[in-house]
Structure formats: structure tokens, C-alpha cells
Amino acid sequence: MTQPLTQPHLSDDDLQLAAATAPLPAAAAAHLPGCRLCQARATAYQQLFAAAARLPPPAFAFDLTAAVLAQLPRPQPAFPWVLALVAVLVLGVVGAFMALFGGALGQAFHGLSTGLGAGLAVVAGFLVAGQGLELLARHRRQMRLLAFS
Ligand SMILES: [Zn+2]
């Protein structure tokens, strides 16, 4: 130690900063160049950091993914059938409505066409069926996202 030491030795925090070549507090930065002990300690931290960086990632003795998945609530496979049941019920209600009031609608549009009521029923049926199918497809997509595939 050739230079007089006006500052105390570096703290562990400052030694780790020096090892990582991060900016040091002014007092520590002034002390370090003149102190072989602190330089040696910083070098030791540097070697420790380098050794830690070379360590392989931790490997678990068990299947972590399976353990986590086992804790998650399972998607209910019966749910799409509930959706299908709802779609069938809606179709039934629409069908009953058309059967009950289709005649009145047909009379209302009697001047235009006699097949208009049936055409409306078919179009409404297609619309409802399409909505139900899209609902099912969206549900399957969300279930696939949940499956972590
Ligand atoms: Zn020192």
C-alpha cells in the first residue's frame, strides 16, 4: 500500500459493485485504486460471479410442469355439450315461434309472397345455427389456449 488510506475499506455492497464494474460511490472509487486488499476482494467477487454464471440451470428431480398442471383446475369436457344443448333449445324456441306466428307473418306479407314466412324461418334458423357454431368454435379455441400445448 503505497498511498495513504484516507477512506475505510469498501463495504461488501461496494465490493460487489466494483466486481460488476458498476459505478461506485465517490469515496469507494477514491479508495479502491490504492488498496490491494479491496482489489483482491473485488477480484474474488468477480471470480465468484463468473463461476455462478457458468453453473447449469437448476434441474428438478420431479416433472415441474406436470406438478403445476396437476394443481390447476381441469377444464370441464362436458361444457361444449351444454353449449350445444343451449343452441338446440334456442333453435327449438325459434322453431316454435315460427310455427305459432309464422302464419300471422305470412298473412302480413301475403301480398308479397306466400313463401316469405318459410323463407324467414329458414334464414333465422341458419343465423341461430351459425351463432351456435361460432360460439362452439370460440370455446374450443379458448380451451386449446388453456391446454398449454
Ligand atoms: Zn481497502
- Domain spans in the chain, listed from the N-terminal domain onward: 12-54, 75-146
Cα 15 to ligand 1 centre (Å): 10
> What backbone torsions phi and psi does residue 25 show, to the nearest 5 degrees?
-60, 155
- Judging by beta carbons within 10 Å of its beta carbon (0-12, 13-18, 19+), is residue 119 exposed, middle or buried? exposed
pLDDT at residue 144, as a whole number: 82
Has residue 113 got a pLDDT over 50? yes
CA distance 95 to 129: 12
38 pLDDT tier (thresholds 50, 70, 90): very high
109 pLDDT tier (thresholds 50, 70, 90): low
Contact, 79 vs 139, CB < 8 A? yes
Cα 41 to ligand 1 centre (Å): 9
142 pLDDT tier (thresholds 50, 70, 90): confident
127 pLDDT tier (thresholds 50, 70, 90): very high
Has residue 110 got a pLDDT over 60? yes
pLDDT at residue 77, as a whole number: 61
pLDDT at residue 9, as a whole number: 94
Has residue 129 got a pLDDT over 60? yes
Cα 2 to ligand 1 centre (Å): 12
Cα 55 to ligand 1 centre (Å): 30
90 pLDDT tier (thresholds 50, 70, 90): very high
Cα 23 to ligand 1 centre (Å): 17
Cα 32 to ligand 1 centre (Å): 6
| Percent of the chain residues topping a pLDDT of 90 | 41
Q: Average pLDDT over the chain, rounded to whole?
A: 83
pLDDT at residue 6, as a whole number: 60
